Amino acid sequence: MVKRDSILFDLDGTLTDPALGITNSVMYALRKLGAPVEERSFYHRFIGPPLLDSFARYCGFSPEKSREALRLYREYFSDKGIYENTVYEGIPALLRDLQSAGYKPVVATSKPELFAKQIFDHFDMTKYFSFIGGADMEETRATKDAVIRYVLGNIGNPAPDKCLMIGDREYDVRGARACNMDAVGVLYGYGSREELAAAGAWRIAESVADLRRILRD
């Protein structure tokens, strides 16, 4: 296995595929606001970055309207969208093997920590992690580097060069680099090879099996 003390995992697009729940939640919020609604695939770009930023960037909303959109998003997500989600094939086995090798995987997600914990409980995956860290509900701790620092502070502040971040978007890679740690980008989620390479990914995995090989090297 790769010689790292701590392996940090992103959630959306890395451990689970949340596309249906996230896009349904975004589209629900837009309809409630009377805003135009695009094709579902357009909203895949909401998977990864903080939602307030995404509503402002992709829908052109003001800060106030973005917060109302976020409230409506969570109205749907907390009831239905949170469960419109699937675990990527091979992930539970990978996590079990990391544990067997002496690692204690942790989660660093820009999704609110409350929701992340509910998702892992739903899929009986909480047992695989020594700590599950995410954003706060107010999204004052929502950027990936802020979440990573929060997680590291809760697991004893290991040296960055002994840590590895795994995620599917540039935000995961840039957040890791801002914290002086390497990142593995995964292509089975919602980022592209070009995006991950440009952000400075240490390695890029095309599949869960490829990720397993990288961690085994």
Pick the closest to residue 163 from 3, 5, 2, 1 (CA basis). Answer: 5
Instruction: Name the catalytic one among 5, 10, 145, 161.
Output: 10
Instruction: Compute the distance between CA of residue 18 and CA of residue 83 in angstroms, rounded to an integer.
Output: 9
Q: Pairing mode, if any, of strands 16-17 and 86-87? A: antiparallel
Question: 10 an active-site residue?
Answer: yes
Pick the closest to residue 192 from 213, 208, 170, 173 (CA basis). Answer: 170
Pick the closest to residue 104 from 146, 163, 36 (CA basis). Answer: 163
| Residue/partner pairs of 61-67 with CB below 8 Å, 24 or more apart | 65/33
Instruction: Compute the distance between CA of residue 57 and CA of residue 66 in angstroms, rounded to an integer.
Output: 10
Active-site residues: which are they? 10
